[in-house]
Chain A
Amino acid sequence: QSALTQPRSVSGSPGQSVTISCTGTSSDVGGYNYVSWYQQHPGKAPKLMIYDVTKGPSGVPDRFSGSKSGNTASLIISGLQAEDEADYYCCSYAGSYTWVFGGGTKVTVL
């Protein structure tokens, strides 16, 4: 149950797009289409932003999108806004009713 690998930080100017990668193995990210992404502002609970690799929950702006290729999933934030500055975590089903998270990525809006 090793953590998924995410970049520690990414940054972009308002209106730009940023991409956060999440690399696992064939036992988690690559083996299932059950990747989710969570946004967490300081001192707050995580919030679901993307589920099942590409699906967005009701109420989440469509600026947030997800994709996957092989053992790497990605979260794309298009049209970056100030309120998008937060920590983002990927999560993947890892088999046998266990889940694994990434180490988290801090998104900074310049």
Chain B
Amino acid sequence: QVQLVESGGGVAQPGRSLRLSCAASGFTFSYYAMHWVRQAPGKGLEWVAIISYDGVSKFYTDSVKGRFTISRDNSKNTLYLQMNSLRVEDTAVYYCARDPSYCTSGGCHSDLYGMEVWGQGTTVTVSS
């Protein structure tokens, strides 16, 4: 079955860095675009970033532009989120999620509704 497992969360001081990972299994990872979504304690969901199936195209929410970098290693079936210059307001549970859009050798299917499958999340706490 489709599974997404995040790791790499922890406690970091403001201004420091963390790298999150998301290991995918149960589907052909290299076919799908992938998202990161976060949820601050007691708050709602916030979309963070998306990366295309081939890693070429990347888009971010305004509050993380220039600080966070989404990337992927299709040979390792793994998605990453490099978080630099962390702020207290980055404290959240970070979820990776599979986008419904995919590309195969036979062509591409696009759907822009959001997130089809979610991981269980990893917690990031930014505090001095």
Residues in chain A within 8 A of chain B (CB atoms): 1, 3, 32, 34-36, 38, 40, 44-48, 51-52, 57, 89, 91, 93, 96-104
Contact = CB atoms under 8 A, between A and B. Distances in A.
Contact of A91 (B45, B61, B62, B119): B45
B46 to A, nearest CB: 6
A100 B63 CA distance: 13
A57 B120 CA distance: 19
A34 B57 contact: no
A5 B37 CA distance: 18
Interface string B28-55: 0000000101000000111100100000
A70 B62 CA distance: 26
Contacts, number: 70
Contacts of B47: 91, 98-101
Given A1-B61, A45-B95, A52 B111 contact: yes
Given A89-B45, A101-B45, A104-B44, A34 B112 contact: yes
Given A45-B121, A96-B59, A97-B50, A35 B45 contact: no
Nearest to A46: B118
Given A34-B113, A47-B118, A101-B44, 8 more contacts: A36-B113, A46-B115, A48-B115, A48-B118, A51-B113, A91-B114, A97-B59, A98-B59
Contacts of A44: 120
A52 B113 contact: yes
B44 A103 contact: yes
Nearest to A47: B118
B113 A93 contact: yes
